Amino acid sequence: MSNKLKIYAVPMSQAVRAVLWVLFNKKLPFELVLTVPGSKEANGTRHPDYLNKFPNGTIPGLEDPATGFLLAESHAIMCYLCNKHNWTDLYPAEYEARAKVDDFLHYHHRNIKEASLAFFAPMARPDLGLTDDVINMAKKLFTKGLNALEKQWLKKNNFITGNNPTIADIAAYVEIGQLQSQFTNLFDFETYPNVKRWLGEMSNIEGHDDVHFVLSELGDISKTPPAMEDLMGANIKGFKHIAQRLTEF
Ligand SMILES: N[C@@H](CCC(=O)N[C@@H](CS)C(=O)NCC(=O)O)C(=O)O
């Protein structure tokens, strides 16, 4: 039996893409276990076997078969991987620099993270039945976060906490980046020049293209919501792409 790290995931998930990007950036071999969010089927996050391992029932989930260690929450997983493998470029060793990364990772949840609820889910997942109140609140929170990035973090520095990208940038990009015109085309960044510059720099970071393959496959969804088969199809193509690339590590 393989002792490779397992990541339970589908590539369309923002939180999943953040973790996969770190692993691809460092070329750490792992096994991707296709796990459908919200499904009670055997390969779903709401199946009792999955809930037994990850009680919140979300992807990504990390399992280390060598030790039995289990971990959910993308930010916790990224910090754990960086700590374990001493990837101090992505998660600085120096306490103050690391605390600034943590600052953003905690801040992220009720603002930048709302990109998915504000823009992605209303088009891609109408089946979720999000109300206008929920969507409008998410838009307000996201815009506040984006303005903070534009006028503070990314005005002062090339990247969120300094002149090099860290897991804070990866966490932010998987939310903001998905909205760009080359992917879903759900947000116009014209009035956010610092964010635009940063998006361009982030797209050159090793691993970006592999983990965003799924979004290139999905394409522009700004005018017409994708059919469920298209969403699933993009996920499967994204999954196959990642599985293929993993054989090259
Ligand atoms: N805060 C979590 C969010 C993860 C999350 O919401 N994952 C979604 C997919 S994007 C999920 O698994 N949803 C399934 C469910 O809630 O049933 C993280 O960063 O890992």
Convert the pLDDT of each residue in 33-69 to its tens digit. 999 999 999 999 999 999 999 999 999 999 999 999 9
Cα–Cα distance for residue pair 170/226, rounded to 1 Å: 26
Whether the predicted pLDDT of 246 surpasses 90? yes
Mean pLDDT of 159-181: 98
Task: Verify whether ligand 1 is closer than 6 Å to residue 15 (CB atom).
Answer: yes
User: Parallel, antiparallel, or unpaired for β 61-64 and 30-34?
Assistant: unpaired
Q: How far is CA 229 from CA 41, 90, 125, 142, 236, in A?
A: 18, 36, 12, 29, 10
Whether the predicted pLDDT of 235 surpasses 70? yes
Task: Verify whether ligand 1 is closer than 6 Å to residue 235 (CB atom).
Answer: no
Whether the predicted pLDDT of 215 surpasses 70? yes
Task: Verify whether ligand 1 is closer than 6 Å to residue 13 (CB atom).
Answer: yes
Nearest-atom number in ligand 1 for the CA of 60 is 20
Superfamily of domain 5-88+228-246: Glutaredoxin (3.40.30.10)
Query: Do the beta carbons of residue 119 and residue 186 sit within 8 Å?
Result: yes
**What's the pLDDT score for residue 2?**
79
Mean pLDDT of 1-23: 95
What are the φ/ψ torsions at residue 8 (nearest 5 degrees)?
-85, 125
Cα–Cα distance for residue pair 46/90, rounded to 1 Å: 32
Whether the predicted pLDDT of 70 surpasses 80? yes
Domain residue ranges of the chain, discontinuous segments joined by + = 5-88+228-246, 95-202
Whether the predicted pLDDT of 95 surpasses 80? yes
Task: Verify whether ligand 1 is closer than 6 Å to residue 37 (CB atom).
Answer: yes
Beta-carbon contacts of 165 under 8 Å, excluding residues fewer than 6 positions away, are 90, 159, 201, 202, 205
Could you tell me the end-to-end alpha-carbon distance of the chain, in angstroms, rounded to an integer? 19
Pick the CATH number of 95-202 from 3.40.50.300, 1.20.1050.10, 1.10.3720.10, 3.10.20.600: 1.20.1050.10
Task: Verify whether ligand 1 is closer than 6 Å to residue 11 (CB atom).
Answer: no
Testing ligand 1's pocket by substitution, the residue of 59, 79, 104, 215 carrying the most ligand atoms inside 8 A of its CB is 59
Compute, in angstroms, the gap from residue 58 CA to the centroid of ligand 1. Answer: 4
Mean pLDDT of the chain: 97
**What's the pLDDT score for residue 127?**
87
For 80-94, how does the pLDDT look when each residue is reduced to its tens digit (9 = 90+)?
999 999 999 999 999
- The two domains 5-88+228-246 and 95-202 share their CATH topology (first three levels equal): no
Split at pLDDT 50, 70, 90, the class of 5 is very high
pTM of the model: 0.98
Query: Do the beta carbons of residue 8 and residue 50 sit within 8 Å?
Result: yes
